[in-house]
Amino acid sequence: MNNDKFALPFYWNDYEDIAMSLYEKFGDEFGETKIYRIRFTDLLEWVLELPNFKGTREESSEGHLEQIQSAWVYEWRDNQ
């Protein structure tokens, strides 16, 4: 994960960036089926804690979380 203070911020619509950050944080601890079973309340908190994530809780939606979940699965698959 890029903790560089000059890294660009990302927001709710940056699904791929969020997915890459989640994969870098959790690695292979979460496989495809486990990713799809994550509660959205947990996923929301994890996204809000990511470095360089600048979105807010109020801007989030179920649609955003679904897209992030799918992108995270694709990121996991790409790394297998």
Mean pLDDT of 38-65: 96
Query: Mind listing the pLDDT tens digit for each residue in 26-51?
Result: 999 999 999 999 999 999 999 999 99
Write the CA distances from 22 to 26, 40, 61, integer angstroms.
6, 14, 18
Angle (CA) 63-69-72 rounded to 5° is 140
Contact of 68 with 22, CB cutoff 8 Å = yes
pLDDT of residue 5: 66
